[in-house]
Structure 1
């Protein structure tokens, strides 16, 4: 092996290109089982999502024709885009948001016909020859779209019959094995589903209408996740009533709820999207579940009779989208050394099969930086969490007198989480000589409800302080260069970036991807799902307009005194592009180095590989000019005003 070359951090020649990060990446989600067939969704580099089928003969084929894109805009974040049941596929097409019915291998047929309707999270009601689905109605004169649970005949000859209405939101409909009981989740403004939901069960009458209803669990301060009936007709669900998302079941005859294996672990996840699943039934006596502790996931079996939990020894740190059938468990998983993949696990033989990788592993382990969990002190005597990635490249070492620049990553949400997962988007930086801190700031999922709720009323304060204190901690440990600190993030992470640069004097540069600069504008101009989210994160608007102004970077632009690059999709319905435009104009007028990169056709989170590639390279180019290091690669320049 050759002796590593001494070179300035940031200038190292990396084996990873932006094409490796995005052009060769396939997003995997939406696992479903129908008979002997396995289905899932793939987000392709061109931005289109297709349904893929692996049949009983082990042949894998695309089912979605080129002119279709499987993606719903219910809640804008989507999920639950399709249903595979009874040998038929029902899916939402992105262009017109209508449902289509497809016999696998044949051309899809229009299934709904009213413009302005959106659909998600469908299930099959075979007894009544219909599907039951969440519908979001944008055709009314109401200030916001109307959400309901509706039924639509499998013949597609009706416009949908409303089964349940009156609440602001619905999700997770599920039928018992006999098809006589329907369960669902519902919640109302200003709650988000991780704040408080209600689990209801109702009798289905012979004519398919809803009979007597029963509130099983939940409320304004209890979040319920993934109701599901067991093979013997018992209703299971996940609740955070103890402060942790744990498993429960409902005994209908006794009208009581039973905790199954209480522990300080998260069996549930924040419901940003429909169709999420962390458990399934191998039999009436065995449940297979995934759970996380301090950001690391396990897969386990729960004996329903003895309530004993047995953890499987699997090489994964992240597990999601769990489905179970015929002694097989299917899930999406990855580790600190492997990108996510679609995995099959045999419960009898314990054999693991990787059925589809999101990305082929082309990076040698000698270049790979492994996530190191850290816990660091932050405000008010609390601690916060994150994953630290030191720079690593077998061909280079930094100059002896230097420490590496640090890139602090702030995830979106803010009620989401970053995970100890191999991602080329992180290795892109570490192989070039950057250190990376991926922060699970206060409010992140995975550390219990109390950690999430510390963000209540404190958004833009405690989460930002965690990013700042994480950087300070690494500087104090002499792991990074305190004079070359950058922060980056998208959506809520973009807001944290803007706040950190505005209200603290620590970072030397930042990158905001579709970040919030004006909280007041966001409160007035966003979609229904998040239209009252800020009530809990900041305060009621307009009653506490003072808080919105105090925490909006655009209102304190005179305090921001370091270079910034803004990256924005021009069709973003969640954080409209005027948020970034206002920030760019203000900084340009003040004479600060600022760049603004926009993408037509992109929404909240870019889907086209070419646009993601350009954004990543633009960010690297920006830092090279600000931190004054030579790039090892040819990158298309970005226009930086006032440089």
Structure 2
């Protein structure tokens, strides 16, 4: 029999340490015969990245301490490793140099091929015929000037010469040599576009000396986003384009792009990182792919000769990093009851096997809140989307007539998407009596280009309206307490949270994780990849400076009337720490309850377990003080200014 207790104060078996202590970031699945490789970013080791192999029933680490495969190209990285013929080729986080490591030699040490700083490498692929790597290189050679991106080749024989293959565009990604080694495909784009706005798909021939000849653009443009070009085993180029309004698959045939299985669904994702993979070919040339519809992913098999699609039933509703080998299809998948995991699915039987879970935490169903996909009315007679999680704890219930506090989550990007995958951090809140709504506001991916473009010119308006309307919708249904509405978010989601607290009066508290308080500062002081992002989200700067000031919470603190807690990494290259400090100082001067928790060694997006644990506990403590409940957890207090 459960105990009656105020929501927020419920005792939960999901401890703060369990949320992050043994958590893993999983990425970069690679296959070599029956062996499966992937990268693990380990919170318990300060976020260090490790190459892991599963051979038979044995899972082992392959990269030695001191070597952490990770690239900082475009700041968000990805594509940091590739495997070929028993060798690992990869970037090391500490010096950004390129190394190789013999994987089946005991106690082998990484051998440096070329220096890193001032260069960063990503999207590595082996050009076996010419004994070289092909990669994207981002060069920071001239202080005060924008880095230069190129496609380059790095010789695998000493002296490991670096040769320029393609230059002139602002950005490159996805170099893909053809199976016969005669051609190469790649993607490029230019400011002010981001890769989900407009990119170009190119093909070129390899000349006898290894240079590129006869380069021609075959698809893409200013208003067409190309994603993940791949060559089929038979040498046909396949790619994803959103020319129809949806990221769908196309094949390049006889000088034209032919749609493969057109659907109002997304076969691509925003290219925030290098190396994203949503489809691959099996030995028969069939396409094994992941596609999303209404926020949920499915796995399917498509015959490119007939466009026939056969869905492969799985419990996974978030699928990425897909690879196909002799033993089946491998991907990073998550479901409402399973965290992101390395998964193998047998294409014949449909049976699935989890090879590695990102979090070992197993939650009893009595404490597990399942996501409900909701669509709710929002501004302008439109609809928006979200995942709602009800409070769930078999040991406690709220007093009769008492609705739970609601925590409104806003994903980053802002061109990203909320996922229904099990997250211990979400269950942490729901098992303590909070309701959660994870909002896919206008501008989110997964609902077609038109939905993604709702945010163009209207960042700080559309996203805020959708967050507010999600909360109001749930209050109207009796699923949330109107007096205990909180909003939180990180990075771009942090901006949405700050803007909602400043320009609306719906929320009673909020938390910003490395959020943006000053759009003007962000426009002037951020990295190359996002340096023109605000052109589309807000408008050209400085021509539209007045709009930047108008939508920046830091300039309108007089309108903020709710308590706020801020979290910030002091080495953040994306959102400068001075933004959090300025916001804190301004709110403190106004006399509102405010707390600021800074972490000296963190960058953009916290990686260390201790950091995430402290932030989560501090946020719970903060809400307890603001909403008038005492958490059941033993929590180190956080200093809250102006709290009586």
Instruction: Calculate the TM-score normalised by the size of structure 2.
Output: 0.98
Shift of 1:325: 1.6
Contact persistence 2:377–2:384 (CA under 8 A): yes
Specify the SS of the correspondent of 1:637: coil
Q: Residues of 2 paired with 1:62 and 1:285: CA distance?
A: 32
1:603 aligns to what?
Answer: 603
- Deviation string 1:556-590 (CA, Å, 9 cap, x unpaired) is 11001110000000000000100100000111111
Contact persistence 2:33–2:326 (CA under 8 A): no
Shift of 1:283: 2.8
2:121 aligns to what?
Answer: 119
2:197 aligns to what?
Answer: 195
Contact persistence 1:502–1:553 (CA under 8 A): yes
Contact persistence 2:204–2:215 (CA under 8 A): yes
Q: Residues of 2 paired with 1:384 and 1:351: CA distance?
A: 35
Specify the SS of the correspondent of 2:621: helix
Q: Residues of 2 paired with 1:351 and 1:458: CA distance?
A: 45
- Whether 1:613 aligns to 2:613 is yes
1:140-219 residue pairs with structure 2 within 5 A?
Answer: 140=142, 143-219=145-221
Contact persistence 1:511–1:564 (CA under 8 A): yes
2:93 aligns to what?
Answer: 94
Contact persistence 2:95–2:116 (CA under 8 A): no
Unpaired runs of 5+ residues, structure 2, are none
1:556 aligns to what?
Answer: 556
User: Bigger CA drift: 147-156 or 353-362?
Assistant: 353-362
- Deviation string 1:143-181 (CA, Å, 9 cap, x unpaired) is 200000000001252341110000000000001111110
Q: Residues of 2 paired with 1:473 and 1:36: CA distance?
A: 50
1:343 aligns to what?
Answer: 343
Q: Residues of 1 paired with 2:463 and 2:500: CA distance?
A: 10
Q: Residues of 1 paired with 2:122 and 2:158: CA distance?
A: 16
2:585 aligns to what?
Answer: 585
1:512-591 residue pairs with structure 2 within 5 A?
Answer: 512-591=512-591
Give the direction of change, closer, same or farther, for the CA distance of 1:323–1:626 in structure 2 (3 Å limit).
Answer: same
2:51 aligns to what?
Answer: 51
Q: Residues of 2 paired with 1:544 and 1:430: CA distance?
A: 42
Shift of 1:59: 2.5
Contact persistence 1:374–1:388 (CA under 8 A): yes
Contact persistence 1:344–1:354 (CA under 8 A): yes
Contact persistence 1:4–1:397 (CA under 8 A): yes
Q: Residues of 1 paired with 2:192 and 2:22: CA distance?
A: 40
- Deviation string 1:42-72 (CA, Å, 9 cap, x unpaired) is 01122101111123x4432111111111111
**RMSD (Å) for aligned C-alpha atoms:** 1.0
Contact persistence 1:114–1:159 (CA under 8 A): no
1:4-153 residue pairs with structure 2 within 5 A?
Answer: 4-45=2-43, 46=45, 47-55=47-55, 57-104=56-103, 105=105, 106-113=108-115, 115-140=117-142, 143-153=145-155
- Deviation string 1:363-415 (CA, Å, 9 cap, x unpaired) is 10111000011101111111110000010100000011311000000110000
Count of matched residue pairs: 638
Shift of 1:16: 0.5
Q: Residues of 1 paired with 2:206 and 2:271: CA distance?
A: 26
Shift of 1:531: 0.1
Contact persistence 1:230–1:284 (CA under 8 A): no
Contact persistence 2:34–2:327 (CA under 8 A): no
Structure 1 segments, 4+ long, off by >6 Å, are none
Unpaired runs of 5+ residues, structure 1, are none
Specify the SS of the correspondent of 2:415: coil
Shift of 1:36: 3.5
Contact persistence 1:113–1:159 (CA under 8 A): no
- Whether 1:436 aligns to 2:439 is no
Q: Residues of 2 paired with 1:362 and 1:346: CA distance?
A: 25
- Whether 1:239 aligns to 2:241 is yes
Q: Residues of 2 paired with 1:22 and 1:122: CA distance?
A: 30
